[in-house]
Amino acid sequence: MGKTIWSMCGMCSVRCPIKVEVDDGDISWIEGNPHILDRALCPKGSAGKALYNDSERPQTPLIRRSGRGAGNWDPVSWETAIDYIGEKLERIIDKYGARAIMMSCRGGPWADLYKAFIHALGSPNFTNHDSACGRNVHHASLSIYGLGRKGFVYDIKNAKHLVLFGRNILAALRVAEVNQVMDMLDQGGTLTYVDVRQTLTGVKAQNFFQVKPGTDYALALGMINEVLRIGAYDKEFVDKYTIGFEKLEEFIQPYTAAWAAKECGVKEKKIKSFVEQIGADRPKVIFHPGWMLSRYRDSFYHSRALQILNVLMGNIETKGGQIFAKGPGDCGVKGLRTLDSQIPKPEEKRADGVGWKYKHFDKGPGLFHLFYDTMTTQDPYPIKALICHRHDPFNCFPDPQAQKDALANVDLLISVDTHYSEFGWFSDVILPESTYLERDTGIATQKGPKPRFIVRRKAVETRFNTKPGWEIYKLLAERMGVGKYFPYETIEDYWNWQLEPTGFKIEDFDEKGFVSLTDKPIMYDRENLEGKFKTPSGKIEIISSKLEDAGLPSLKPYEPPCKPPKGKFRLVFGRSPIHAHGHTINNPLLNELLPENTLWINKRVADRLGLNDGDLADVVSDTFKGTVKVHVTEFIHPEAVYTVHGFGRQVPLQSRAYHAGLSDQKLMEGLLLHMDEAGGGLCLCEKFVTVRRSPRNPRRSVEL
Amino acid sequence: MNRYLLYLNAKRCIGCHGCEIHCKVNKNLPVGPILCEISHEPLKNVRGVPKTEYSFRSCYQCEDPYCVSICPTNAMQKREDGIVFIDYDACIGCMACAGACPWQIPQYNPATGKAVKCDYCIDRIDKGLKPACVTKCTTHALKFVELQEF
């Protein structure tokens, strides 16, 4: 007899709500939650079944037997693994203090669990992947609104105009969001897309700006200038809610549309006609402030400029604009109880310097890459253990070799993950987490105009000797003598404990997999937004006191990007809707559709290099070389080459992904500490590589 | 007379290839056979925007299918509603059907040793559901259309 399980997808970090049908203990069907997604699901979502059935993933806890990365593992029981870790951590705490332990994850609704564990041990060093992702966007948003990047949701569906700077929104593929974009287009909305190449998002656009790599900020400045010049902004909103507008007017003077057009390599006429369009469409115009915007050295200021454009459009708390993300409190419901809030905050200063050395950054997860510096210099103190939960720093951060060099100073590396990550393969212990289809997870809050609580429930029994995260950290906490901070034995205990203040019961999730906290969308009174902006002044800060106090300009004069040295190209990267970065490359069904990436290269350049479409090219940085097929196209800027991130994996037990395609992050030598000082994000598009025809293109074959 | 049609609203399709995976997972197919395909023409500059359009292809469910007439065991059949499907109990995996089909639509399933092809998810249709590719299409660009006589 079949049963229905309401759950949440775990193939990427979007975590779409899903419905799973199970027959005789096996998955027969997975679809998007019909109440939220009308059954829609992306290719990765369906391929979840192949992940569950795949045996090329860690099947039991593993302890390293010989040198790091050699791949000799002792399969052990959970008791042995937890005890091994416990002993090592105790030794580290005795010698260096709990602060020598750091924990990283990839954020998301369940970070409470890992944060609670590291704080319970007494270490402040909780971090995540975000300095290689959205930190610039987050900090830009904080500096303008006093709210992080998740402080607003975008009402794309009802917008008249969506403007995307390198935000390849249809490939990033958040199912609900993608449908909003398509709905907007169906209703006659306009899409404007800016990138150094054409993408599957850009082909849907009415306006397309192919800019010179690294000049996005210039284009945004030119747009601001033109908006102010023709008065295409909401004067009333700006007067009422912002500070520093006069300084913007003064600052923006030199950055005319003509100037931007020249700098970016686009047409002035096109910028002007675009600004006329948005002038007519406002306030229903959304400038997406970026998602993964750890790209150029001015990405933080680029994101700030995009937010300034949003403010000029007056798109806050209006249909078709940016809407404050409402939480339980807005619905008169108490929030979920969190583990971390029950634990005394460690008073020690963070090892990455965030909060004391770098006061303008959000202290929450700090900046992971700075820990590598700490590991090497031992300043302010040594880091001796690193736990990575579902996070693969070797895939996520540039220059894995530089990371390995720093990790030589760290005594214990632990990977908690459902699959073999590149970091896991190098680490000392792998604790295999059950896949999302095999595990329950704590209850999560999803904010928005209609906030909800949602839960992931286990659909099928575990195939291997794996455990869910809530149990892994409970076991570790018990072993470390801090089990009292994890006051549950079963997942039901945990759910009930989380839910207790809210008045809901876990049974309330049985009908649809979630509980809505309101029937109707909640909108604040747009005429009365006082107190909603959490900046020091309570206003939208075009001039940010926090930045100015840190000695950083709020409006940074534009500096042109470095031109690639002769014979070199700027390496840019992105994603495909088939894969979730490095996570899914080895998934049998997804691998079948996209088994390797290519290197996009401009046609004129390729002709010069003697490269035809499909030829093999060597891509060389300082000491690393990759070989990959080229995709020759006229629709990429001649200064750039592009590849899909996540390939070139070197975990032998992932037989399908092993050495398939090109790894962009391994080419990014020297970028590990190349940070945007104002935004905290890494500058991942600041590497120039050489491309040449590979000698591996067959000409003759003379084997005996 | 064919009763059904799979229709792609190319304006809504984002080229994510979800349909291909939804189909494979529903039919429990291993690596190898792919029963429907999204493809596109090379990008072309249209008024300053590089454009392309997606197209969807699966079995055409021919009016007079060669795969049916060539099948030596009568495993390949055409139903009254037009759906061309395989009776797996009768299929011997000789793949004569693939050879007879102008587009080599029937494919070999190495997991079963038999042929497999798009049958509009016949089992789902008979339960009043829609094909897997349509049901789960990421943007609901794919539609399952029931043709009506004028």
Residue A460 contacts B where some CB pair is shorter than 8 Å: no
Test B135 with A578 for CB contact under 8 angstroms: no
Q: Please say whether the beta carbons of A181 and A170 come within 8 A.
A: yes
Residue-level pLDDT at A702: 86
Q: Indicate the helix (H) or strand (E) that contains A596.
A: none
Residue B46 contacts A where some CB pair is shorter than 8 Å: no
Q: Quick: pLDDT tens for A346-371.
A: 999 999 999 999 999 999 999 999 99
CA distance A32 to chain B (A): 7
CA distance A261 to chain B (A): 15
Q: Which residues of A touch B14 (CB under 8 A)?
A: 170, 173, 178, 182, 200, 204, 577
Q: Quick: pLDDT tens for A183-222.
A: 999 999 999 999 999 999 999 999 999 999 999 999 999 9
Residue B148: pLDDT over 90: no
Residue A74 contacts B where some CB pair is shorter than 8 Å: no
Q: Which residues of A touch B31 (CB under 8 A)?
A: 588-589, 591-592
Alpha carbons within 13 angstroms on the beta-carbon side of residue A692 total 8
Band (A35; pLDDT cuts 50, 70, 90): very high
Q: Indicate the helix (H) or strand (E) that contains A352.
A: none
When pLDDT is averaged across residues A582-589 and rounded to a whole number, the result is: 97
Residue-level pLDDT at A371: 98
Residue A704: pLDDT over 90: no
Please name which of A549, A657, A518, A683 lies closest in space to residue A596, comparing C-alpha atoms.
Answer: A657
Chain A with chain B: Cβ pairs closer than 8 A? 104
Q: Quick: pLDDT tens for B32-41.
A: 999 999 999 9
Measured CA to CA, the distance from residue A563 to residue A402 in angstroms comes to 25
Test A47 with B21 for CB contact under 8 angstroms: yes
Among A175, A207, A208, beta carbon nearest to B138:
A175
Test B52 with A203 for CB contact under 8 angstroms: yes
Test B50 with A635 for CB contact under 8 angstroms: yes
Q: Which residues of B touch A49 (CB under 8 A)?
A: 25
Torsion of CA A391, A395, A401, A406, to 10 degrees: -20
Band (B96; pLDDT cuts 50, 70, 90): very high
Q: Indicate the helix (H) or strand (E) that contains B6.
A: strand B4-8
Residue B8: pLDDT over 80: yes
Measured CA to CA, the distance from residue A458 to residue A441 in angstroms comes to 8
- Residues 592..651 of A with a Cβ closer than 8 Å to B: which? 592-593, 633, 635
Residue A390: pLDDT over 90: yes
**In chain A, which residue's Cα lies nearest the Cα of B32?**
A592
Q: Quick: pLDDT tens for A455-509.
A: 999 999 999 999 999 999 999 999 999 999 999 999 999 999 999 999 999 999 9
* Helix (H/G/I), strand (E/B), else coil: A42: coil
CA distance A579 to chain B (A): 10
Residue-level pLDDT at B1: 76
Q: Please say whether the beta carbons of A264 and A209 come within 8 A.
A: yes
When pLDDT is averaged across residues A507-522 and rounded to a whole number, the result is: 97
CATH class of the domain at A62-116+334-449+459-490: alpha beta
Band (A681; pLDDT cuts 50, 70, 90): very high
CA distance A201 to chain B (A): 8
Residue-level pLDDT at B86: 98
Triad A327, A287, A636: Cα angle to 5°: 130
Percent of chain A with pLDDT over 90: 99
Residue-level pLDDT at A377: 98
As for the ipTM of the complex, it is 0.97
Helices A268-281, A257-264: axis angle to 10 degrees equals 120
Band (A700; pLDDT cuts 50, 70, 90): confident
The residue type of A667 is L
Test A203 with B43 for CB contact under 8 angstroms: yes
Q: Which residues of A touch B139 (CB under 8 A)?
A: 40, 178-179, 182
Residue-level pLDDT at A1: 65
CATH number at residue B112: 3.30.70.20
Q: Please say whether the beta carbons of A685 and A211 come within 8 A.
A: no
Among B30, B50, B137, beta carbon nearest to A40:
B137
Domain enclosing residue B46, as ranges: 4-146
Please name which of A605, A669, A555, A600 lies closest in space to residue A245, comparing C-alpha atoms.
Answer: A555
Q: Between 3.30.1310.10, 3.20.20.70, 3.40.228.10, 3.30.70.1350, what CATH number should domain A152-324+535-549 receive?
A: 3.40.228.10
Q: Which residues of B touch A270 (CB under 8 A)?
A: 48
When pLDDT is averaged across residues B129-136 and rounded to a whole number, the result is: 98
Residue B2 contacts A where some CB pair is shorter than 8 Å: no
Percent of chain B with pLDDT over 90: 96
Among A40, A208, A577, beta carbon nearest to B140:
A40
When pLDDT is averaged across residues A623-646 and rounded to a whole number, the result is: 98
In the 3-class helix/strand/coil scheme, how is A425-479 assigned residue by residue?
Answer: HHCCEEEEECCHHHCCEEEEEECECCCEEEEECCCCCCCCCCECHHHHHHHHHHH
Band (A311; pLDDT cuts 50, 70, 90): very high
Q: Please say whether the beta carbons of A642 and A600 come within 8 A.
A: yes
Residue-level pLDDT at A386: 98
Q: What is the CATH number of domain A568-693?
A: 2.40.40.20
* A164 beta partners: A193
Residue A698: pLDDT over 90: no
CA distance B72 to chain A (A): 32
Number of domains within chain B? 1
Helices A216-229, A299-313: axis angle to 10 degrees equals 30
All structural domains of chain A with their residue ranges:
62-116+334-449+459-490, 152-324+535-549, 568-693
